[in-house]
Structure 1
Amino acid sequence: MSRFEGTAAVEYDDRISMLVPGYQIMHEATASLMAAHYTEKATILVVGAGTGSEILTLSRINPNWSFVAVDLSQDMLDIASVRFHEAGISHRVSCFCGDLSQLRRVKFDAVICLLVMHFIKGLNDKQEFLIEITMRLKHHGQLFIADYMKFSQDEVALAQVNMSMLQGMNRDSVAQMQAKMSLDFDALSANQLYKLAREVGLSRPKTYFQSLCYQANMLTRL
């Protein structure tokens, strides 16, 4: 079973907060930066919407924003839909289960893609993924993207492990996390991200949040 289905989907929010230091702050920083760019109505595509954490945070900062939530896991979207209903924002959110390439190419004011692209293997597939995103952005629209990044300093990766333990994970869980990450993650360096962005018609990434190996960047469609 996928880590995003069944019980894994139910436990996702508790697990991710231990894996990504500053997880909620990253969402709040994204929402705050978006609010500086989009003060009126905006349609926002959320790629890898998961259980809806990004949208719940965003919905509180501007009541005039509407959202399309895309995710490969129906179980995750089912949880998100319940949370949207409880928050009274269901009328502002449309959910789509499937690959981004299957979503019709409507133009959005902004796209949010947090903790998704590091799961995509290989530069070619990452480039195709960014092309799909870019084609759905209005000109001068913003992409807010965050991933586990590759750093040359070994101590940063070690600190990432130690931080997870401080967040409450035991040594066995940390060891399992390291094994999964080595298999599942394909991290980019900052230079690789810049090169991919340039190739698909996006601006140089501007970092607005970083917590050890996790980094969030804003890019503009040129």
Structure 2
Amino acid sequence: MSASSNAAQKFDPARANEYQAQSRIALAGYDACHELSACMLTATLGAGSAARVLVLGAGGGAQEIVTAGRLEPNWRFTAVDPSAPMMDIARANLEQKGLAARTDIHLGYVDDLAPDQIFDAATLIGVLHHQPGEEAKRQLLRSVASRLRPGAPLILAGNRYAYTSQPLLLAAWGERWRMQGAMAEEVQAKLGKILEGADPPASEEVVAELLADAGFEQPTWFFSSLFWGACLAKRATTT
């Protein structure tokens, strides 16, 4: 079973149903991150442009599509996610928001897409830190790069520190849950779960190295919230 398959199994029906509410607690600034991601793409591609955007890990609320689709009415999206329960939630939300007609749904992985599908931009939000080990992360980024035209932007967002390397941030993350009403036992359970459940890159420098290895230019960081960071990197125009 591949690393991506193992990551997909985390998002069973129970976790899918709680995803949107819990994500907004775990990531302070969840909506702001998605809004700024859309703004960064528009600033790169141009307001009013016509673009095809690849959205990896779109399951859940498809917030990337909802936010960017509201800003740019001429963009079309291809939503990719291997979790059926998460994609069901995304599909329902896109239909409710009137974006289903502008979105192609693909249940599976980026490597399953037709070879001739090339995109003007891509987003990879909350996905990379679920890939165990640097090689799995590198391979995913290479697969994304192969789907982008030269110079196309990628929004990459996720946790970008080894959790145990930042004890103050980890403690603050626990207090964030307590602020939202979690009891002490629940906070400890969530801290244990995050330590076991993901494998983020060790630093922003490692993220930049992974992107460079996959064929992207130096990233521009534009959002930070405790462990979480978001950047934009363009696919290199030369190899």
Provide closer, same or farther for how the CA distance between residues 101 and 170 of structure 1 changes in structure 2, counting only shifts above 3 A: farther
Do the aligned partners of 2:59 and 2:88 also contact (CA within 8 Å) in 1? no
1:6-85 equivalent positions in 2, closer than 5 A: 6-38=13-45, 39=47, 40-51=49-60, 52-85=62-95
Following the alignment from structure 1 to structure 2, what is the Cα–Cα distance between the partners of residues 83 and 194? Answer: 33
Deviations 1:8-55 (A, max 9, x none): 212211111111111111111111111212221010000000121111
Cα distance, 1:153 vs structure 2: 4.2
* CA drift at 1:66: 0.4
For the residue of structure 2 that corresponds to 1:209, the secondary structure is: strand
Is the partner of 1:140 in helix, strand or coil?
A: coil
Asked whether the equivalents of residues 45 and 68 of structure 1 are also in contact (C-alpha less than 8 Å), the reply is yes
Q: What is the identity, as a one-letter code, of the residue corresponding to 2:183?
A: N
- Match in the other structure for 2:219: 205
* Contact kept in structure 2, 1:21 and 1:164, CA below 8 Å: no
Give the Cα–Cα distance (whole angstroms) in 2 for the partners of residues 176 and 53 of structure 1: 27
Note if 1:148 corresponds to 2:162. Answer: no
Whichever structure has more strand as a proportion of its residues is 1
Partner of 1:196: 210
Q: Whole-Å Cα distance in 2 between the matches of residues 3 and 169 of structure 1?
A: 22
Work out which of the residue numbers 163, 172, 196 in structure 2 matches 1:183.
Answer: 196
Moved over 4 A (4+): none
Distance 2:51 2:179 in 1: 38
Of 177-186 and 115-124, the range deviating more from structure 2? 177-186
1:172 aligns to what? 185
What runs of 5+ residues in structure 2 fail to find an aligned partner?
1-7
CA distance in 2, matches of 1:153, 1:181: 13
Query: What is the aligned-residue identity percentage?
Result: 29
The 8 Å contact of residues 45 and 112 in structure 1, kept in 2 or not, is answered as yes
SS of corresponding position for 2:80: strand
8 Å Cα contact 1:18-1:168 kept in structure 2: no
Structure 2 length as normaliser, TM-score? Answer: 0.88
Retained in 1: the 8 A contact 2:76–2:103?
A: yes
Per-residue CA deviations over 1:31-88 (Å, capped at 9, x if unaligned) read: 1111212221010000000121111111100100000000111111111111111111
- Match of 2:182, SS state, is coil
Asked whether the 8 Å contact 1:44–1:111 carries over to 2, the reply is yes
Q: Which residue of 1 aligns with 2:5?
A: none
Alpha carbons 1:43, 1:67 under 8 Å: kept? yes
Quick one: distance in 2 between partners of 1:11 and 1:85? 19
